[in-house]
Structure 1
């Protein structure tokens, strides 16, 4: 299945997220443009697939750097941002399914599975927002 071009994938992520940063919840606009954030960082073998991309504000994308998604989620929660724990779980599960279908991603697989296990330990029973 061919991937959409990166700008189209970003537009799709912005729409799916209701025009807000995946991590801090700030609304995108002229002063807060969206950027592509790889949930499993490229440095950890994360692919440039729609399943591994969310829309994030520049501040979140830059401050996160190569931190793991669960580590950054925990930092967002400490900051009191309205990050949705269940949303990260859905993204990681969707990516895991895509890797299973498409194959490859030798470096990303164990990293992704570790993140899912770690997230399961902090996931609230109802998957509600925290903060």
Structure 2
């Protein structure tokens, strides 16, 4: 089954900001003013995470750069350690949405086990 191509990064970012609001998922910085928004892959691409809107959240450049390839659950803990207030429900919702998208679209074999492990870890938090 062929699925329509995903929109470009700019269009995905605009859709993500409409979906989640104009704040960084990790530190909750307002992204509607002077701080530019970036797309951050919740499941890192190096772990098989696709460039789908279901796998992306809006993040400030600082958080996106500092996070690197850190797992979502480890980065949530690091954000809390730094005194930030990450949006854990948003991260959980995005991961669940990605799981549904993978089930529907198929593929993403590398991302599946990593995603399942992250959802289990989030459920234990």
Q: Scaled by the length of structure 1, what TM-score is found? A: 0.88
In structure 2, how many angstroms separate the alpha carbons of the residues matched to 1:16 and 1:101?
20
In structure 2, how many angstroms separate the alpha carbons of the residues matched to 1:98 and 1:78?
32
- Aligned length in residues: 122
Matches within 5 A, 1:1-131: 1-2=3-4, 3-29=6-32, 31-122=34-125
In structure 2, how many angstroms separate the alpha carbons of the residues matched to 1:53 and 1:78?
23
Runs of 4+ in structure 1 over 6 Å off: none
In structure 2, how many angstroms separate the alpha carbons of the residues matched to 1:85 and 1:5?
26
Q: Give the gaps of 5 or more residues in structure 2.
A: none
Q: Scaled by the length of structure 2, what TM-score is found? A: 0.92
Taking only aligned residues, the RMSD between alpha carbons, in angstroms, comes to 1.2
Match of 1:128 in 2: none
1:87–1:30 CA distance, 2 compared to 1 (3 A): closer
Task: Encode CA deviations 1:61-95: one digit per residue, 9 max, x unaligned.
Answer: 00000000111011111122121222111111000
- Greater shift in the superposed pair: 23-32 or 62-71: 23-32
